[in-house]
Structures are given as structure tokens and as C-alpha cells.
Amino acid sequence: MQDFPDFMKSKSNHISSKEQNTEDIDGYFYEGSDGSQMAFWTCYSARVSKKHAHEFDEYMVCVSGQYTAILNGEEFVLNPGDELFIPKGTEQWGKCIAGTRTIHAFGGKRIMGAEE
């Protein structure tokens, strides 16, 4: 597969560019009844994200391409199928190559919906 299926890309679940830590990526999210969230991101060109931290744990998996996560200064190169657990409060940023797709699970509310 070259992209996430269309049913996963509902306009109502689109992540606003204001909520992105990386320019020129496209993302969609889903929220659990407990407030946890999952996000699906596609990077269309090589990009670098802003440094940030979350107040909750994060899990990510690289679906395609390559994502290099930098956690507290240590690099982790993720290729398709590689997973990473990011403990809450960890300073993080990363870089991806064009065509990278990742899935993230957040232990809290990372993305605000359009109505919020």
C-alpha cells in the first residue's frame, strides 16, 4: 500500500496544520472513550519536526519510509515495522523522508477536534 485507506481519512478527523509539529504533512486522528488518541500521518516530503514533549506516553510505529526520532538527544531510526515507546515528558523531535507514514497512539489528548 502507498497510502492509508480512504475510510481512515475522513474530513471530520483531519488534523489541522495548527496542530502539527511538522510542516507539510497530512494527518487524521481517532479518539477513544477514555480520551486517548491515535493518529495516522503521511509525510509527502523530507521534513524535520519541532522539539516538543507530551504530558502522556506515546507509542509509534513506522509503516513506510523512514522516521528518525530524537529522544532527549538520542537517535532512533525507525524503518517499516519498527516501533518506539516514548515516555511522557520526554523531549522529542524527529525527521522523516518523503513517503513516510507513521501511526501514533497517545495516552492522552494530543489533537483538538475542529469543534474544540
Q: Convert the pLDDT of each residue in 26-38 to its tens digit.
A: 899 999 999 899 9
* CA 30/CA 114 separation, integer angstroms: 13
Per-residue pLDDT, 1: 82
Residues in the chain: 116
Share the mean pLDDT of the chain. Answer: 90
- Of the candidates 15, 20, 17, 19, which has an alpha carbon nearest to the alpha carbon of residue 4? 15
Pick 31-106's CATH classification: 3.40.718.10, 3.40.920.10, 2.60.120.10, 3.20.20.60. 2.60.120.10
φ/ψ bin of 81: left (φ > 0), alpha (ψ from -120 to 50), beta (otherwise): left
Answer yes or no: is pLDDT of 114 > 60: no
Answer yes or no: is pLDDT of 61 > 80: yes
Full-prediction pTM beyond 0.85?
A: yes
